[in-house]
Structure 1
Amino acid sequence: MILHYLKVAIRSLMKFKMQNIIAIFGLAMSLFCFSVCLYCSRYIFSTDDCFRNRDRIVELYLGRSDNNFSSITSGSLPSFLRNQGLNAKAFCGVARTDERSYNIEVYEGKLLPYNLRFMETDSCFNEVFTPEILHGSWKNAIQNPNSVILFESTAKRIFGSAEKSIGKRMVLNRRLYTSPNSTPREGGD
């Protein structure tokens, strides 16, 4: 009986060649689209797997302008939430990323211009996201105002190695709109 079904299937394939080619092509395209969607969904759902506290991290977006929601959150919100006595380990404020122009002291007395993407945060960032600090310490960074923590790849690109980046001067080329009183009009250290 199975041989009979195979014989009928082969005859049908030979009789309707174009229809079968279209069906095989459609099946191949649907499998391709499914695998791309599966890959993208796995990528999206694994973006925070690198954080130790990933099951306890919640992201808040508070802000609305012209019926468009944006990622603008008040800088005072984390401190307000800390004072509410909620059952949470830490509240961290993170500003959206942007680009800043710096003059960076690469060698003794030699400043070179660089445009770097930055992200402003508060001192609780280390507790929530647990980044690995390779050189220097988090305590020094939070105790000194206007401290900068660089990615290892950025430090290597600018200074040649990550160790050489500690203690170097980075001078802003313009005033920060987030803290206009603490930065001079033309920028500053």
Structure 2
Amino acid sequence: MTELDEIFGESNRPVSFEDIQSLRYMEQVIQETWRLFPPIPMIAKKPTTDIQLENCVLPEGSTIAIIIMAMHRNPTQFPNPDVFNPDNFLPERIKARHPYSFIPFSAGSRTCIGAKYAMLLVKVMLATLLRSYRVYSKRRERDFVLAGQTVLKRREGFLINLKPREKSSMIIAAA
């Protein structure tokens, strides 16, 4: 909330594009959430040529499954990989990692065209919601049961509670 308070103070004005660009810590929180619970748990690729690895060859046209959730929990890229830590996305830590160690929306020429829009949309939604409400869940993360489909989700949904903040009145997001 500190970052939101610094940007908005007591104002209930709509969220602007400039505000969204200033929400750097919120972006780290979103990225860390996507690291632990990627929107797409797995992607498949087909090499257009044979790929020589250390001990084998991946033949042209074969299907290669990339388990994004496992990749994002690689301890050589993310120390304490099962711990939620937004500092994993500080600029210096991003530079120190392999560029493809974090791929919540795939990577390279096949990156999801909606990835930047998703970040923008989540930031607007969170900035609007968190300025008006405290959000909490009575369920613990260790009790989550995930359902790996096209999009990763909790099998039983995600029930949250909203409690109005005392200082805020209704905030409307800019369209």
Q: Shared topology, TM-score over 0.5?
A: no
**TM-score normalized by the length of structure 1:** 0.19
TM-score (norm 2): 0.20
Greater RCO, 1 or 2 (C-alpha within 8 Å, sep 6+)? 2
Bigger Rg, which one:
1
